Each structure stands twice: as C-alpha cells, then as structure tokens.
Amino acid sequence: AQKITQTQPGMFVQEKEAVTLDCTYDTSDPSYGLFWYKQPSSGEMIFLIYQGSYDQQNATEGRYSLNFQKARKSANLVISASQLGDSAMYFCAMRDFKAAGNKLTFGGGTRVLVKP
C-alpha cells in the first residue's frame, strides 16, 4: 500500500524568503508520480507541480521546485520568494501508474503562514 507522510503540521515563513515543505513516501511500485497541491481556505485543490519516478531532473514550475531524492523516498517542495498569497495548506500526493485509474493518495498536509 502507498503512504505519504508530511511531518510538518505548520510553518511560518517571512515574506520574500524561501520555504521547504517535507514529504516522504512509501511504495513498492517502481512507476509512480508525485504531486503537490495547494489548498487555500476556499477549499479548492490547486495543482502546483509534478515529478515522475523516472524523471531524471527535478521538476520546476515558476517559484515552485521539487527536491526529489528517490533513494530516500522524499519529494520536498521548495517555494522561493514567498508571497502573502502563498498562505494555505499544502498537500503532497502520490499516484501509482500500474493501477488502471487515477487514484491519488494524499499526505496529512502542512499549513504555511507567510508573515509580512
């Protein structure tokens, strides 16, 4: 069974600084994808970044980058130059590519509060 662990329940970060959100995962499948989502107080899950298990390079999307360490089974999200609008819950999720469907397994989330 797949499992996602996010050990930081909450974090404060100063505006314009970088913040790293930890995510470790457990799976026996060689083919999988790792996702990060942002959930503001409105509730909608917003896709941020994706990393495939066979991707050779770490994924980047604007101010978001993923520090993927396959041997350690970690996929940490780095948000650079934090903005007040980055205050939200952040979820790490995994998808097993052997399965027929597109089920996502989510971690417990990390709440980020950006201070001005």
Question: Which residues would be at the binding site for other proteins (CB under 8 A)?
Answer: 4, 33, 37, 42-47, 50, 91, 93, 95-109
Whether 90 and 39 have beta carbons less than 8 Å apart is answered as: yes
Least distance to other proteins, CB of residue 65, Å: 19
Nearer to other proteins, 79 or 94 (CB): 94
Closest distance to other proteins from the beta carbon of 36 (Å): 12
Nearer to other proteins, 17 or 29 (CB): 29
| 43 vs 116, beta carbon nearer other proteins | 43
User: What does the alpha-carbon distance between residue 85 and residue 83 come to, in Å, rounded to a whole number?
Assistant: 5
Quote the DSSP letter at residue 30. Answer: S
Say how far apart CA 62 and CA 65 lie, in whole Å: 8
Q: What is the distance between the alpha carbons of residues 72 and 14, in angstroms, rounded to a whole number?
A: 29
